[in-house]
Structure 1
Amino acid sequence: MVVNAEQQREVLNQYGLEMLALCQSQVEKAKDAFVNHDSDLAEEVINTEKRVNALDLKIEKDCEKFLALYTPVAIDLRFIMAIRKINFDLERIADHAEGISRYVVQENKPIEPSLLEALRFETMYETVTSMFENITTAYEHKDVKIARKVFKKDKILDKINRKSFKFIEAEIRQNIEITGQALILFSVIKKMERVGDLLKNVAEEIIFYIEADVVKHKKKK
């Protein structure tokens, strides 16, 4: 069957949505595994990483094939450039989910709920989930207004991350026995903050694809 450029572009578009949904699922499962200390769920996330990597390679190869066969220009070229970068960022998000899950497998006991609450871990997760939803809507409907909602939400994650170090330092000073758990939680919070940064990157690529507007590195007015 002969596949034209438009058909191949739609195939790539669907792969992008699949990658987005898969990576969101990985983050959700990693969070649940971490909070509930569910080692079986954590192992599932770790094993699913192979599927993420396979889809990552598939998208990359199909993008290269599209460039070679159709020599796209204008919006088609921006689409391919954006898909490649979005795919790269999503794969890195999945890496962070795997990293969180490995803590669950390696540790013998769950993180103290009081620490999770004090560091607003649930707020971080809810913010990341909302960012994923915005990205999915923006991607599916080519809606730059929705994509831009991600930027403000990323600031919430940055703020929680900035405050976490001083809090953890103070907690360790009061109770040296929680050092191990506190450091793991600090690392997980850093990973969640990084997931937010990567989702912001994805939003920037969506805007670039749709409007030919390079958002990254723009000076604030």
Structure 2
Amino acid sequence: MTGEHSSKQYDQELEAIRSKVLLMGGMVETQFDEALECFRTGDTARADRVMAEDQAVNQLEVQLDDACSHLIVRRQPTANDLRTVMASIKVITDLERIGDEASKIARTSKSLYERGSTSFAHYDMIRTIARATGELLHNALDAFARLDGKQALELIAADESIDHEFRTILRNLITFMMEDPRTISSALDTLWVAKAIERVGDHAKNIAEYVIYVVEGRDIRHSKPAVIEQPAI
């Protein structure tokens, strides 16, 4: 009975960590969406809220790191459970960094509109990459929630299109700045936002890679596409 009770408590601790990681994921997903809305509308009050919310995300990161560390020390998990805990620690780090990028977008948006820099359609420049990155983040969190290795594998390729879109934005903004130096300040702000979005895509891809690590035991970080697509043995 004691062993059964201990096992149930262990499972509950693992599930509590997973639940809090998903809660953190929902927080940063909302933060990212709100930051993009700030950039679209110039809502400086909303930008302030996005930046303030980053403190709650940071605090949850600290709590989760502590919970994972204590679980490893007390329970000494092995095999799949250990992979789950280690992957959760890495997902927590990526989520915190997504929150940081959302704060950067909000901060840049506030600065842009307070200066009255509206020399061209800023949001139209990043609309496509913003939508694709938002979908990648949402789907990566969904794959983590369901531990769906197949879905995670499909998501990794999506980051390539986000990188391509960022390079297109970069070329377009350089053209703007060369043709009209008056756009340099606002173009650079738009570039910082696009780069922050691209970094969010990188972190979302990382989350998908950790799902594959938990499900298949494969670490595919920095692997070539041919290696990633190989089924686990």
TM over 0.5: yes
Return the match for 1:116 from 123, 127, 130. 123
Corresponding residue number in structure 2 for 1:103: 108
Q: Are residues 1:141 and 2:146 paired?
A: yes
Return the match for 1:154 from 140, 152, 159. 159
Corresponding residue number in structure 2 for 1:61: 66
Return the match for 1:209 from 214, 221, 229. 214
Is contact 1:86-1:205 (8 Å) kept?
Answer: yes
Is contact 2:155-2:208 (8 Å) kept?
Answer: yes
Return the match for 1:76 from 78, 81, 84. 81
d(CA) in 2 for partners of 1:203 and 1:146? 8
Alignment map for 1:119-130 (pairs within 5 Å): 119=125, 121-130=126-135
d(CA) in 1 for partners of 2:217 and 2:167? 33
Query: Kindly, what percent of the aligned residue pairs are identical?
Result: 26
- What secondary structure, in the 3-state scheme, does the structure 1 residue paired with 2:20 have? helix
Corresponding residue number in structure 2 for 1:192: 197
d(CA) in 2 for partners of 1:138 and 1:173? 43
Alignment map for 1:161-180 (pairs within 5 Å): 161-180=166-185
d(CA) in 2 for partners of 1:158 and 1:38? 28
d(CA) in 1 for partners of 2:88 and 2:119? 40
- What secondary structure, in the 3-state scheme, does the structure 1 residue paired with 2:59 have? helix
d(CA) in 2 for partners of 1:130 and 1:110? 29
- What secondary structure, in the 3-state scheme, does the structure 2 residue paired with 1:216 have? coil
TM-score where L is the length of structure 2: 0.89
d(CA) in 1 for partners of 2:118 and 2:95? 27
Corresponding residue number in structure 1 for 2:40: 35
Quote the offset at 1:116 in angstroms.
3.4
d(CA) in 2 for partners of 1:183 and 1:39? 19
d(CA) in 2 for partners of 1:103 and 1:25? 18
d(CA) in 1 for partners of 2:162 and 2:119? 21
The alignment yields a C-alpha RMSD, in angstroms, of 1.7
d(CA) in 2 for partners of 1:126 and 1:166? 20
Corresponding residue number in structure 2 for 1:93: 98
d(CA) in 2 for partners of 1:112 and 1:31? 19
One-letter identity of the residue aligned with 2:42: H
Corresponding residue number in structure 2 for 1:7: 12
- What secondary structure, in the 3-state scheme, does the structure 2 residue paired with 1:215 have? coil
TM-score where L is the length of structure 1: 0.94
Quote the offset at 1:111 in angstroms.
4.4
In structure 2, stretches of 5+ residues that fail to align are 1-5, 227-233
Quote the offset at 1:165 in angstroms.
2.3
One-letter identity of the residue aligned with 1:114: A
* Structure 1, 2-11 or 192-201: larger mean CA deviation: 2-11
Quote the offset at 1:113 in angstroms.
5.4
For this pair of structures, how many residues does the alignment match?
219
